[in-house]
Structure 1
Amino acid sequence: MHSDQQEEQKPVKLEFIEDYSEKPVKMEFIEDYSENRSDPDQEPLRVKLEDTEEQIGLTVEIKKSEELDEAEEQHRVKTEEKYLSCSQTGSKLVLRSAIKNFTCSQSGKSFPYKQSLKGHMKVHSEEKPHTCDQCGKSFTIKYLLNRHMKVHTGEKPHTCDQCGKSFAIKYLLNRHMKVHTREKPHKCDQCGKSLSRKEYLNDHMKIHTGEKPHTCDQCGKSFTLKYLLNRHMKVHTREKPHKCDQCGKSLSRKEYLNDHMKIHTGEKPHTCDQCGKSFSRREYLKDHMKFHTGENPHKCDHCGKNFTGKRDLKFHMKSHTGEKPHTCDQCGKSFTLKHLLNRHIKIHTGQKPYKCDQCEKSFIYKQRLKHHMEVHSGEKPHTCDQCGKSFALKHLLNRHKKIHTGEKPHKCDQCGKSFIMKSKLTYHMKIHTGEKPHTCDQCGKSYTLKGGLKEHMTIHTGEKPHTCDQCGKSFALEFLLKRHKKIHTVERPHKCDQCGKSFTIKSKLMYHMKIHTGEKPHTCDQCGKSYTLKGGLKDHMKVHTGEKPYTCDQCGKSFRFISSFKVHLRFHSGEKPFNCNQCGKKFILASSLKKHMNVHSKEKPHMCSLCGKGFSGVNGLKLHQKRHSSVKNYVCYVCGKNYFTEAVLKQHQKRCCTQEENP
């Protein structure tokens, strides 16, 4: 009796194919909703009917009979009732011409069996009576629970004979085989795209219809598929159930974890057949291939700009909408993408996880470390085809090329000034707004950029970590050291195209060019004197105010300009940083060295217009000209004697007048 009950509970899967003379119809009943179904991988019993009569519908009855004779165990067909017997199970199938549909009152879906409808109704009632005892997940029917249990056991009995991949369920293997055969039988009648599975085609059709029936109840965002909505909900719940066992990082989706693991393994299985570059994900390779083909299929309908990937277009669209949904809770700065916010947060935490193994320098971003490593390697593979200058990174070369083309796409909407880089425009805009958010906590001075404050702080700390290996002079900033080194190499790459004069840095050439143009846009509102540079006017204003902020702590002398103050300090310290490379003589000032070099070259470029005598320096010429005019401006206050120069007067006072005053 017990064996009979088991026999009655054994499920049978049926697939019917009817061949009519005009239009073949295939009817498949592959899955039923029997709660007692135990083997989800069981192959269906396939029955093919060939009949010339038109059949409106088929009702299937399964009969069990132990009394079937050998004749009945073979396939037999009656005229009124069509019997099909299975020789393996002894089951008798009675096919009748009748319509018997069981329709769901909620969704309108029809089923051939009442039991199937009963199982379907659990979808609407959300009844899930079958619960996994290991993870607590519930299912509507028992066979789904049985299939789920293979996740815990790790059982994957169905193996692909081509690539060796294994699957828990046979239909997954059958579906996988289409990857090898590249079979895509389901074709979209609107765009012609072919897909391997019918459900993929159904999902794809929603792109054309624009249907998004699944809506998030928290943010209102809609999705074409329910699983996409479920995946999206993890953004609100911040659920990250998939954890990396190597670094402890948690991720919201399993595929993200799989991709993340490739960072640890270094696996990049997808290789470009044109340039050899490898990628961890196939879609990255697919996007990369568009660089070779020049394909930019995604076009912005606002500005007409094209992009290789849909994600790039989506990100670009935020520049038009101004949408920045991700806000820093510490400083209030907003970002278009969440990963940009996460990267920004590291500025507040001071976290610099990427460390150089050669110089111990640390970086917030991995890409910065990668760029930094090229400093040690010295590799500069990207070369400008116009001037031959090389760069470590391609984007630096692209930026450099704009110098040759004169392209300045970023324009200020207030004064019309244009810039090569967007960051330069952003910095420039602060001139108009007067914004100086970075303030020194010691003296209260403010700066528009954080880098400016950082440079300023070295004045208070006295820190000068960058030292010249030729003369030992130290500098607070690296760019100042680089500029200084040009003194030793006599490198002057920036040349004036009008007079041929060369300069060590570009800014000095730009300043020099204003001599030829005569441009002096900065005018003093008190005396009307004009200057080529804003800094010149700023320094000049100290003449009117009498301001001398730089005071020597040794002699008490004050100076208007920091440059004069620094030169003055050398007289106390005895520092002479400018060396003659021919005789070794040292000088406090660069101008003194320059004049001295004329001694070695015997060059006397400064000629007297009256007698033709030449002088190596302009001061010597001025002194000589006073002899022609007999002008003696320097008078001794003791004896009243006149002299041409202050130096000769001082010598006179030391020798004569001092002795007369102090007999």
Structure 2
Amino acid sequence: MPMGRQSINQTGDFEKHMRIHAVDKPYQCDVCGKIFNHLGNLQTHMRTHTGDKPYKCDVCGKVFNVRGNLQTHMRTHTGDKPYKCDVCGKAVSQRDILQNHLKIHTGDKPYECNVCGKAFILKGTLQIHMRTHTGDKPYKCDVCGKMFSQKETLKAHMRTHTGDKPYKCHICGKAFNQRGNLKVHMRTHTGDKPYKCDVCGKAFMRKDTLQMHMRTHNGDKPYECDVCGKAFIQTGGLRTHIMTHTGEKPYKCDVCGKAFRQTGNLQTHMKTHTGEKPYKCDVCGKAFSITGNLQTHMRTHTGEKPYKCDVCGKAFSVTGNLQTHMRIHTGD
């Protein structure tokens, strides 16, 4: 008798094991009709109908309907990651996570969208992607009614209502409501700028910032003013511009009452009250409250005069001086 069969017979499990290979599955669910080859599997399955979750985590209280799921969950508390990638050495807590991870190395993307052809490693990711075509948003916020295509996006959104910010920077202590925002923030400490412009080589910390920057090269200005037709690269630029029509100046100085359209202008203005001059000339030591003023001042040392008269060719270091000079030619 083969050693494998003898070993199974000794434990009394041979008959049970053979049902895996046999067509016969004698245990059927009375609710949905699904059939099983082991009684224990049927009993576990029944919990999907009854909602019974007898296995409880002693640490956080979360409950599960299968003991194996509890054992896997416990690794979130212990940090145990027994499954290791042979290619890059990354360790994970579950076997199926490792199997999916390996597809990153093999390039295997078996799940393809039949609308646009985009392929994915995970079936679940394809299902989520399909919502970009169908417009399906099954997850609804109970507070404001906003709809989302992904459960995780809804969870992150709920933090805007609760104020919960579970992702904290270990360097400066700043907290965020999304893990991705913390990841981007960390680049302010590391200096990492992974998104590079193919045209001019300028690098950025954020992908969306690079996308906006590209408009300076392709001339794309998708945000247009309904009043005068002026177009802008960024929606923020359009919002600020609209205030020139409405007269709105929402940012007000607490000291003198002067109002501004942009918060940056208010911050600059506040330095006139505090006397703060953080921008210092490396040549003569003169300090300025605005970086632009320092740049203009530096021309007194370099002799640079970038503003040139188109009529007579005279050059100036400050654009205002050129504008004054032009009156000689216009007679204004």
TM-score, normalising length from structure 1? 0.34
Letter in 1 for 2:128: R
* Alpha-carbon distance between aligned partners in 2 of 1:95 and 1:232, rounded to the nearest angstrom: 48
Q: Which residue in the other structure is 1:181 paired with? A: 134
Q: Which residue in the other structure is 1:122 paired with? A: 75
* 1:423-462 per-position Cα deviation (integer Å, ceiling 9, x unaligned): xxxxxxxxxxxxxxxxxxxxxxxxxxxxxxxxxxxxxxxx
* Alpha-carbon distance between aligned partners in 1 of 2:214 and 2:297, rounded to the nearest angstrom: 28
Q: Which residue in the other structure is 1:428 paired with? A: none
Change (3 A) 1:245 1:185: same
Change (3 A) 1:271 1:318: closer
Q: Which residue in the other structure is 2:66 paired with? A: 113
Q: Which residue in the other structure is 1:206 paired with? A: 159
Q: Which residue in the other structure is 2:123 paired with? A: 170
Residues 223 and 229 of structure 1 are in contact (CA less than 8 Å); yes or no, is this contact kept in structure 2? Answer: yes
Q: CA deviation at 1:211?
A: 2.0
Change (3 A) 1:65 1:221: same
Residues 109 and 122 of structure 2 are in contact (CA less than 8 Å); yes or no, is this contact kept in structure 1? Answer: yes
Q: Which structure 2 residues correspond to residues 141-156 of structure 1 after superposition, within 5 A?
A: 141-156=94-109
Q: CA deviation at 1:208?
A: 1.7
* Alpha-carbon distance between aligned partners in 2 of 1:299 and 1:466, rounded to the nearest angstrom: 41
Q: Which residue in the other structure is 1:215 paired with? A: 168
Residues 85 and 91 of structure 2 are in contact (CA less than 8 Å); yes or no, is this contact kept in structure 1? Answer: yes
* Alpha-carbon distance between aligned partners in 2 of 1:153 and 1:177, rounded to the nearest angstrom: 24
Q: Which residue in the other structure is 1:160 paired with? A: 113
* 1:498-537 per-position Cα deviation (integer Å, ceiling 9, x unaligned): xxxxxx56xxxxxxxxxxxxxxxxxxxxxxxxxxxxxxxx
Residues 75 and 83 of structure 1 are in contact (CA less than 8 Å); yes or no, is this contact kept in structure 2? Answer: no
User: Residue 147 of structure 2 is aligned with which of 162, 186, 194?
Assistant: 194
Q: Which structure 2 residues correspond to residues 504-583 of structure 1 after superposition, within 5 A?
A: none
* Alpha-carbon distance between aligned partners in 2 of 1:254 and 1:126, rounded to the nearest angstrom: 31
Q: Which structure 2 residues correspond to residues 430-449 of structure 1 after superposition, within 5 A?
A: none
Q: Which structure 2 residues correspond to residues 234-249 of structure 1 after superposition, within 5 A?
A: 234-244=187-197, 247-249=200-202
Q: Which residue in the other structure is 2:35 paired with? A: 85
* Alpha-carbon distance between aligned partners in 1 of 2:112 and 2:91, rounded to the nearest angstrom: 28
Q: Secondary structure at the match of 1:201?
A: helix
Q: CA deviation at 1:200?
A: 1.9
Q: Which residue in the other structure is 1:94 paired with? A: 42
Change (3 A) 1:135 1:180: same
Residues 296 and 306 of structure 1 are in contact (CA less than 8 Å); yes or no, is this contact kept in structure 2? Answer: no
* Alpha-carbon distance between aligned partners in 2 of 1:223 and 1:155, rounded to the nearest angstrom: 34
Letter in 2 for 1:85: I
* 1:84-126 per-position Cα deviation (integer Å, ceiling 9, x unaligned): 426xxx6773126785533333333223333323333333344
* Alpha-carbon distance between aligned partners in 2 of 1:296 and 1:129, rounded to the nearest angstrom: 63
* Alpha-carbon distance between aligned partners in 2 of 1:465 and 1:328, rounded to the nearest angstrom: 32
Q: CA deviation at 1:235?
A: 0.9
* Alpha-carbon distance between aligned partners in 1 of 2:4 and 2:293, rounded to the nearest angstrom: 69
* Alpha-carbon distance between aligned partners in 2 of 1:147 and 1:326, rounded to the nearest angstrom: 55
User: Relative contact order (alpha carbons < 8 A, sep ≥ 6): 1 or 2 greater?
Assistant: 2
* Alpha-carbon distance between aligned partners in 2 of 1:161 and 1:240, rounded to the nearest angstrom: 35
Q: CA deviation at 1:218?
A: 2.9
* Alpha-carbon distance between aligned partners in 1 of 2:248 and 2:92, rounded to the nearest angstrom: 43
Aligned length: 293
Q: Secondary structure at the match of 2:43?
A: strand
Residues 244 and 250 of structure 1 are in contact (CA less than 8 Å); yes or no, is this contact kept in structure 2? Answer: yes
* Alpha-carbon distance between aligned partners in 2 of 1:221 and 1:236, rounded to the nearest angstrom: 12
* Alpha-carbon distance between aligned partners in 2 of 1:299 and 1:214, rounded to the nearest angstrom: 31
Change (3 A) 1:244 1:126: farther
User: Residue 76 of structure 1 is aligned with which of 28, 33, 38?
Assistant: 28
* Alpha-carbon distance between aligned partners in 1 of 2:258 and 2:326, rounded to the nearest angstrom: 43
Q: Which residue in the other structure is 2:10 paired with? A: none
Q: Which residue in the other structure is 1:229 paired with? A: 182
Q: CA deviation at 1:215?
A: 2.8
* 1:586-623 per-position Cα deviation (integer Å, ceiling 9, x unaligned): xxxxxxxxxxxxxxxxxxxxxxxxxxxxxxxxxxxxxx
Letter in 2 for 1:66: R
Q: CA deviation at 1:229?
A: 2.1
Q: CA deviation at 1:175?
A: 1.0
Bigger radius of gyration: 1
* 1:294-346 per-position Cα deviation (integer Å, ceiling 9, x unaligned): 99999669789797xxxx66x467468769999547466566xxxxx6x7887
Residues 83 and 94 of structure 1 are in contact (CA less than 8 Å); yes or no, is this contact kept in structure 2? Answer: no
Q: Secondary structure at the match of 1:95?
A: helix
Change (3 A) 1:66 1:466: closer
Letter in 2 for 1:94: L
Q: Runs of 5+ in structure 2 lacking a partner?
A: 6-15, 300-304, 316-320
Q: Runs of 5+ in structure 1 lacking a partner?
A: 5-62, 336-340, 351-360, 364-371, 377-463, 468-476, 487-503, 506-663
Q: CA deviation at 1:140?
A: 3.1
* Alpha-carbon distance between aligned partners in 2 of 1:195 and 1:203, rounded to the nearest angstrom: 11
Name whichever structure is richer in helix by fraction: 2
Q: Which residue in the other structure is 1:564 paired with? A: none
Sequence identity percentage: 30
Change (3 A) 1:173 1:239: same
* Alpha-carbon distance between aligned partners in 1 of 2:277 and 2:85, rounded to the nearest angstrom: 39
Residues 158 and 166 of structure 1 are in contact (CA less than 8 Å); yes or no, is this contact kept in structure 2? Answer: yes
Residues 28 and 34 of structure 2 are in contact (CA less than 8 Å); yes or no, is this contact kept in structure 1? Answer: yes
Letter in 1 for 2:156: D
Q: Secondary structure at the match of 2:28?
A: coil
Change (3 A) 1:175 1:481: closer
Residues 222 and 231 of structure 2 are in contact (CA less than 8 Å); yes or no, is this contact kept in structure 1? Answer: yes
Residues 137 and 149 of structure 2 are in contact (CA less than 8 Å); yes or no, is this contact kept in structure 1? Answer: yes
Q: Which structure 2 residues correspond to residues 263-278 of structure 1 after superposition, within 5 A?
A: 266=218, 268=220
* Alpha-carbon distance between aligned partners in 2 of 1:291 and 1:478, rounded to the nearest angstrom: 26
Change (3 A) 1:320 1:167: farther
CA-atom RMSD in angstroms: 5.4
Change (3 A) 1:185 1:77: closer
* Alpha-carbon distance between aligned partners in 1 of 2:171 and 2:196, rounded to the nearest angstrom: 26
Q: Which residue in the other structure is 1:511 paired with? A: none
Residues 29 and 42 of structure 2 are in contact (CA less than 8 Å); yes or no, is this contact kept in structure 1? Answer: no
Q: Secondary structure at the match of 1:176?
A: helix
* Alpha-carbon distance between aligned partners in 1 of 2:277 and 2:64, rounded to the nearest angstrom: 48
Name whichever structure is richer in strand by fraction: 1
* Alpha-carbon distance between aligned partners in 2 of 1:271 and 1:346, rounded to the nearest angstrom: 30
* Alpha-carbon distance between aligned partners in 1 of 2:306 and 2:235, rounded to the nearest angstrom: 30
